[in-house]
Amino acid sequence: MNINIICVGKLKEDYLKSASAEYIKRLGAFANIGIIELEESRLGEKPSDKQISTALRAEAVCFEKFLSAHKGYNIALCIEGKMLSSTELAQKLQNVTLEGKSTVNFLIGSSFGLDESLKNACDMRLSVSKMTFPHQLFRVMLLEQIYRCFQINSGSKYHK
């Protein structure tokens, strides 16, 4: 299976880079993991709605270029998405594989989210919490959950 995390921005903190690298290493036993970091649109301190919309559209174009070259099951991570337990997400990944998809693409937007057209083009909208997390930390959290899913599906005791 191929898992791609397509995200806006780069990890900046060493501790987040280390945590990310650890989960990518662990996931290597189960899947090919790709981290695709897209350029973040730079906005001022108090951008207008129009500036935000323009930035999200520009970021969506970058997402779309990657997705058109890497067909798969696309999951937009967004606040209005469906919340799943770890076990439910594991079952979802397993079902995607059984449906013949060998690639899952997780999309993480900027602090302003994802363009609506991009979310509409995805197969699923997923939310992990009603709380807000820093996007860099969230990437590590997502990697851990993906690792947990593979552990659940393999019958490991990792998931308690």
Residue 149: per-residue pLDDT: 97
* 159 assigned to some structural domain: no
| Cβ proximity of 1 and 30 under 8 Å | yes
Say which residues have a Cβ less than 8 Å from residue 11's Cβ, sequence separation at least 6. 17, 20, 37, 136, 139
The structure tokens listed for 94 are: 């397993």
> Residue 28 sits in which domain range?
2-153
48 part of a folded domain: yes
The reply to whether 60 falls in a domain is yes
Residue 158 placed within a domain: no
Contacts for 95 with CB less than 8 Å, ≥ 6 apart: none
DSSP state of 110: B
The token pair at 66 is 């990657």
Task: Profile the chain (160 residues) by mean pLDDT over runs of 10 residues.
Answer: 95 96 97 95 87 94 92 95 97 95 95 94 95 90 97 86
Number of domains in the chain: 1
Write down the pLDDT at residue 99.
Answer: 94
Q: Is residue 160 part of a domain?
A: no
Looking at residue 142, its amino acid is L
Residue closest to 35 by CA, chosen among 108, 102, 123, 86: 108
Read off the pTM. Answer: 0.94
Determine the Cα–Cα distance for residues 13 and 19; give it in Å rounded to an integer. 10
Within-domain flag for 116 = yes
What does the block give as tokens for 108?
């993480």
Residue 149 inside a domain? The answer is yes
Residue 97 lies in a domain: yes
Q: State the CATH number of the domain containing residue 33.
A: 3.40.1280.10
